Amino acid sequence: MALVWGGGEQWHLDAAIAAKKKGHTVYVAANRKSILLSRAKGSGIETAPFAIGNYSFLNPFKLLQVIRFFREKAFDVVALNFSKDLKIATLAAKIASRSGRKIRVVYRRGLAAALKNSFYNRLIFSRFLDGVIVNSLATKAALLQNNRALFPSDHIKLIYNGIDTTKFTPVGERARGEIVVGTLGRCVYQKGHDLFLRIAAILKQRGVRCRFRLGGEGELLQSLKRRAESLGIADMVEFAGFVDEPAAFMRDLDIFALTSRWEGFGFVTAEALSCRVPVVAFNVSSTPEIVSNGENGFLIDLPAGSFDAALEKFADRIGLLIVNQDLRWKMGENGRLRVCKRFDRERNMSKALEYFAAIAKDER
């Protein structure tokens, strides 16, 4: 129930819209001020405002509110995206369930980070949770990293994030003087925008003509702007701020650079490829499940400790794509084909709805 917009929020909105189109009764519960609640309303989805925190399950009034909501709406399945919501939602679902009608709870894990092997997590995953969806093999591995017996591995369903390939469509080769290298994501440590700026500085030092465009807002935005000034690259880096239309943002790029230190799935990577934009990325987490090195982009190993050599190699690959238009086009074509085959939204949302139906009937 976060206020920000990211891959998890996009997945929930897509799932809600897909379920509504299939004739299911759907509610999206989120923070009153969240972008998700606003966009769900705009899509004709029934909504319910909730403010849930990590310890809301200890608040009897908050717990009663959730129990009443579950009972009044008579849900078959409740899908969650944040671990902090698990405690109150799983407890409320158990209490709200009636004889012959159990409310099933599915946790959709989108972060490729280890889950704490805590008492509460062991209790929730072993006793209260009915299903788990992960968005990548890397996310599944991370989920079970600290406790292989936390949840039955064969009950964890891999469903890749879906991209609207009818919206994220390619355009022809761009007619402009300078190549545009872009990235898109929240301005937080995970996304590695500081590394993105260092790569821009390397290319400037080499005399390579190009422009860098960074889309996204967040806690590190102002420090990143100061960093660009200190690196002497303010003249070649554009900070685009919050991007409301990512498809248009992607279509205006020649190369997409993913400098994330880790990713659960990396929506933006698949979105760029869907727009026929080749990707250069660090070889971390789930990225190799999206980017095939040498086919639709380049993967750069990111060793622990010093990043200098990795950043130089990253700059090498961007430089190669800048001077080789045919390679950009070929990799972009391969990327579009890969997304349409593996990450199409309609196909993957259908898999999610099938999984929910199986969970509701306890036939997973």
Token pair recorded at residue 358 = 């199986």
What residue ranges do the domains of the chain occupy? 7-162+345-360, 179-342
Structure confidence at residue 281 (pLDDT): 98
The confidence band for 2, taking pLDDT boundaries of 50, 70 and 90, is low
Residue 51 clears pLDDT 90, i.e. is over it: no
Tokens representing 210? 């190009």
Alpha-carbon distance of 19 to 5, in angstroms, equals 21
Q: What is the pLDDT of residue 53?
A: 82
Query: 279 pairs with which residues across the strands?
Result: 256, 297
User: pLDDT tens digits for 53-97?
Assistant: 888 888 999 999 999 999 999 999 999 988 888 999 999 999 999
pLDDT range class, residue 27, cuts 50, 70, 90? very high
Distance separating alpha carbons of residues 264 and 190, to the nearest angstrom: 11
Are 134 and 140 spatial neighbours (Cβ–Cβ below 8 Å)? yes
What average pLDDT score do residues 122-144 get? Answer: 93
With b for 16 or more beta-carbon neighbours within 10 A and e for fewer, the 65-88 pattern comes to: bbbebbbebebbbbbbbbbbbbbb
- Structural fold of domain 7-162+345-360: Rossmann fold (3.40.50)
Taking CA 290 as the corner, what is the angle to CA 191 and CA 305, rounded to the nearest 5 degrees?
40
Q: Looking at residue 4, what is its pLDDT?
A: 65
Please give the pLDDT value at position 311: 97
Sorted by sequence, the CB contacts under 8 Å of residue 359 that are 6+ apart come out as 77, 104, 106, 130, 131
CA distance 195 to 189: 10
SS3 319: helix
Q: Does residue 8 have a pLDDT over 60? A: yes
Q: How would you list the strands of the sheet with 104-109, edge to edge?
A: 77-80, 104-109, 131-134, 156-158
| Rounded Cα gap, residues 45 and 43, in angstroms | 6
Can you tell me the mean pLDDT for 171-190?
84
Instruction: Fold for 179-342, please state it.
Output: Rossmann fold (3.40.50)
pLDDT for the residue 84: 84
What is the predicted pLDDT for the residue at 175?
59
Could you tell me the two tokens for 106? Answer: 């599915």
For residue 37, the cross-strand partners are none
Please calculate the CA angle 178-182-187 and round it to the nearest 5 degrees.
Answer: 145
Asked if residue 134 has pLDDT above 90, the reply is yes
Q: What is the pLDDT of residue 364?
A: 61
Identify the CA nearest to 256 among candidates 304, 206, 298. Answer: 298
Neighbours of 36 (CB within 10 A): 26
Q: pTM to 2 decimals?
A: 0.82
pLDDT 10s digits, 272-322: 999 999 999 999 989 999 999 999 999 999 987 778 999 999 999 999 999
Mean residue pLDDT of the chain comes to 92
Quick check: 40 pLDDT over 80?
Answer: yes
Tens-place pLDDT, residues 113-127 = 888 999 989 999 999
Residue 363 pLDDT > 80: no
Task: Please determine, for residue 166, whether its predicted confidence score (pLDDT) is greater than 70.
Answer: yes
Highest mean pLDDT among 55-69, 170-184, 215-229: 215-229
pLDDT at position 176, please? 63
Strand partners, 314: none
Domains 7-162+345-360 and 179-342 belong to one CATH topology: yes
Q: What is the pLDDT of residue 1?
A: 46
Closest CA to 290 of 244, 245, 243, 341: 341
